[in-house]
Amino acid sequence: MDSRRLAPRLLASWQRSERYGLSPEEMRPVFTGSVDTASLLYECGHEALRGLRGTLANEAVSMMIADSDGLVLCRMCDDASISRSLDRVHLAPGFSFAERDVGTNGLGLALADRAPSLVRADEHYCAGLRGYTCAAAPVLDPVTGAVAGSVNLTTWSDSSSGLLLALAQATAGNTTALMLARGTGRKGRSLPPPGRVFRVYADRYEQPDDAHRPLSPGWTDALATARTALVRGRVVAVVGDPGAGKTALLSAARRQMGARERLLSARPPAPGEVDAWLRLWTPELEKDSTCVVVSGVDRLPAWAATELAGLFGRVRRTGGEGSGRMQPFAVTAQRYAAIPDALSPLIDTVVEVPALRLRPDDILPLARHFAHRYRGRAVTFTPAATRALTSYDWPENVRQLRRVVREAAARTDVIDTRHLPAEVFTRSGGHLTRLQLLERDEIVRCLTEPGTTVARAAAKLGMGRATVYRKMARYGIQVPGGRGGTGS
């Protein structure tokens, strides 16, 4: 097929396939020899396919579930001829059909672009797959929002494919719903509005009463590295855990240089909104008064990353150190290795922001800053509340601290342990049911009331003291100051 006749997404996939060094005439999918049949994805995907199988009885359609790496986990089909044919091209459990391994195909493209994909006949990169039409849709993890895998439906290339993609999307949605229902006690992540562009103001992390107390070396060293790179006109990628403060670091570094321009942060778009997302904020790159931070480039659909790389290449500025020619963009990601191949060659400097648990000296200054911002005046933290905040691991980093402090500061000018949520006092890593969460929160509420001991809390809860201690151990509840520790 003449690649010039391909749709933009398919053309971008063909170009990536060429860069991977794949041959259109020879296909060599990677074989692992085993699949994880104990995973939640396999369990729920297998059940969703069984439901679809009844709908497609006697149809020449093969139904598959693959994991996030493109490894085929299971395959169902009632048509012996297409099953034998797929075996010959190794589209079977245990083989990887990621785009990087076999070139453009429906399964691999759905994973690369995080979007439903239909690849017909000669739109496949490798000739061995051109006898088929493949429709695939990504399965999203209901907790993290990440791509957990994909549903792939394959039929002969000369068969009608009008409903194939809709069926793949419906089955992927059913798989996600089953994963949520069976992930007992797991909370779904609240996703930000897709493609949203918003203004970011630099955070002044040191409040007047903390001016004598600088932030931790982990933060200040990262800030200095970013500032030096920006002075030298380098393209910066800031990496770190979600919520660690990557965009805030870039904002602070630019403002230390006296750059008072707007800083826009473009979050990753929904897979179907890439075009609108690019049109929304890319004109800002041409403005000298604006810097754009593209957040979470490791979560971009592959073709969006390719478009972005071309755009960045055109607007990238040149100039020596001290020229004042700062780059009009920067990027963030969780890990440098996860930055898309199309974007990584543009990165000159990588700066890592340590997780909040690795810089405990930052917790109290940040808490005071957030409390002052949301309350509109200075807020005091009791010693017990301070110990609770500084001893907690903050798995969601600064984002979680901001939320906790905002909710507490909305209630009082003096924040004590009773104003803090139960999560701050627990160390349990297991998933809890809704009833267990309610029980845990009620135990913490009773234990954090002023003057409460375990004995008093037990009486209020209608439990024996030993039962309360056992449940405290079960939920990992630790109340600062040893309240109730003597059992008095």
Mean pLDDT by 10 residues, the chain (488 residues): 80 93 89 82 94 84 95 93 93 93 96 94 94 95 90 89 86 92 56 42 39 74 94 94 92 78 81 81 82 92 91 80 74 95 95 93 93 87 90 89 91 90 74 72 82 83 84 78 42
Render 172-186 in DSSP notation, one character per residue.
HHHHHHHHHHHSTTP
Strand partners, 132: 156
Dump strand ranges (E) for 348-478: 349-352, 380-381, 414-415
Q: Which residue has the tokens 């006092």?
A: 425
Q: What is the pLDDT of residue 205?
A: 39
As a whole number of angstroms, the distance between CA 447 and CA 417 comes to: 9
Name, in order, each residue with C-beta under 8 angstroms of 428's C-beta and a sequence gap of 6 or more.
440, 474, 475, 476
Measured between alpha carbons, how far is residue 232 from residues 101, 190, 265, 415 in Å?
A: 39, 38, 22, 44
As a whole number of angstroms, the distance between CA 324 and CA 254 comes to: 11
The rounded Cα 398 to chain-centroid distance in angstroms is 16
The reply to whether the predicted model has a pTM over 0.85 is no
Are 226 and 253 spatial neighbours (Cβ–Cβ below 8 Å)? Answer: yes
Q: What is the pLDDT of residue 98?
A: 94
Are 348 and 382 spatial neighbours (Cβ–Cβ below 8 Å)? Answer: no
Q: What is the pLDDT of residue 187?
A: 45
Measured between alpha carbons, how far is residue 187 from residues 68, 420, 433, 442 in Å?
A: 21, 20, 10, 19
The identity of residue 171, as a single letter, is T
Are 178 and 170 spatial neighbours (Cβ–Cβ below 8 Å)? Answer: no
Q: What is the pLDDT of residue 244?
A: 93
What's the chain's length in residues?
488
Please, what's the largest Cα pairwise distance for the chain?
A: 82
Name, in order, each residue with C-beta under 8 angstroms of 342's C-beta and a sequence gap of 6 or more.
16, 302, 305, 306, 308, 309
Q: What is the pLDDT of residue 449?
A: 81
Q: What is the pLDDT of residue 152?
A: 97
Do domains 3-182 and 358-482 share one topology? The answer is no
**What does DSSP assign to residue 354?**
P
The residue ranges of every structural domain in the chain are 3-182, 197-354, 358-482
State which fold the 197-354 domain adopts. Answer: Rossmann fold (3.40.50)
Q: What is the pLDDT of residue 194?
A: 41
The rounded Cα 94 to chain-centroid distance in angstroms is 27
Q: What is the dihedral of CA 444, 445, 448, 449, to 10 degrees?
A: -150
State which fold the 358-482 domain adopts. Answer: Helicase, Ruva Protein; domain 3 (1.10.8)
As a whole number of angstroms, the distance between CA 149 and CA 147 comes to: 6
Q: Which residue has the tokens 């590295």?
A: 225
- Is residue 185 left, alpha or beta, with left meaning phi > 0 and alpha meaning psi from -120 to 50? left
Q: What is the pLDDT of residue 37?
A: 86
Q: What is the pLDDT of residue 24?
A: 93
The CATH number of the domain covering residues in 3-182? 3.30.450.40
Q: What is the pLDDT of residue 435?
A: 75
